[in-house]
């Protein structure tokens, strides 16, 4: 986001609460706006979508928020009676993809190589605290929306194991490489912008995803689960 803003692009950020929004704006003073919404709440996520539409339209949307790896919230059940990991990592990007105006060019669901450990059977998906399960869901969502929205590029991505609060200090990589890759892609430049829609990518190329992610019937089952829990259908369906 910082790279894009410094390049002159209009960038709208998202933060969980007002304190985090202030920190984000201070870190990226050239950002156009910071929208606020707790993605563990279905109601707040719906409201966030409305505010995003008022702030748009957008050329590119990146669903990047996620929790996991031992965070206190990653073992919680939300007031909506679902796992916080499922709520933030799976359901929120589904709701936002359905309710936000479709971007004009590009859409990305942030995944992870942890998705290889995910359970493609989707058993008890809404109660799963597994980060791997949720990241597999993100790959499946990207593929499902790519099949529907043939006029834009939809990807899922493994940005690398990087040194962040969630990734930890032991992570071998920094944020510089994925930041450049994402900024280039968001602007429609670089290698990733030329990759076929529906692909799972690293920071530099297409990668092979979990074989279960390509099963169309399971993609549709995941969409049905998200629709049932949120009350929101995929646009036009």
Q: Which residues are marked as active site?
A: 131, 135
Fill in the DSSP letter of residue 108.
E
Q: What is the separation of C-alpha 153 from the centre of its chain, rounded to a whole number of angstroms? A: 14
CB 37 within 8 A of CB 48: yes
Residue 192 CA to residue 88 CA, distance in Å, equals: 25
Give 189's contacts (C-beta < 8 A, 6+ positions apart): none
DSSP helix, strand, coil percent of the chain (3-state; round to 5) = 45, 15, 40
Helix (H) or strand (E) holding 201: strand 200-201
d(CA 178, CA 176): 6
Stated as kind and residue range, the H or E segment containing 14 is strand 12-15
Please state, in angstroms and rounded to a whole number, the distance separating the CA atoms of residues 208 and 6.
Answer: 33
What element of type H or E holds 153? strand 153-157
């Amino acid at each position: 986001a910082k790279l894009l803003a410094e390049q002159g692009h209009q960038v709208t950020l998202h933060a969980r609460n007002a304190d985090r929004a202030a920190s984000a704006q201070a870190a990226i003073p050239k950002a156009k706006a910071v929208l606020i919404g707790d993605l563990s709440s279905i109601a707040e996520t719906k409201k966030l979508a409305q505010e995003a539409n008022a702030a748009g339209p957008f050329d590119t949307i990146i669903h990047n928020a996620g929790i996991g790896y031992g965070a206190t919230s990653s073992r919680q059940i939300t007031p909506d009676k679902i796992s916080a990991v499922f709520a933030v990592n799976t359901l929120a990007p589904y709701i936002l993809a359905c309710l936000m105006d479709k971007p004009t060019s590009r859409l990305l669901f942030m995944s992870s190589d942890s998705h290889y450990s995910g359970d493609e059977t989707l058993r008890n998906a809404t109660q799963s605290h597994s980060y791997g399960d949720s990241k597999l869901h993100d790959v499946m969502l990207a593929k499902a929306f790519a099949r529907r929205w043939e006029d834009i590029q939809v990807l899922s991505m493994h940005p690398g194991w990087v040194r962040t609060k969630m990734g930890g200090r032991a992570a071998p990589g920094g944020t510089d490489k994925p930041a450049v890759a994402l900024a280039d892609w968001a602007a429609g430049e670089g290698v990733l912008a030329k990759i076929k829609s529906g692909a799972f990518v690293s920071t530099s190329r297409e990668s092979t995803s979990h074989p279960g992610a390509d099963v169309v019937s399971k993609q549709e089952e995941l969409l049905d689960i998200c629709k049932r829990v949120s009350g929101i259908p995929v646009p036009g369906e």
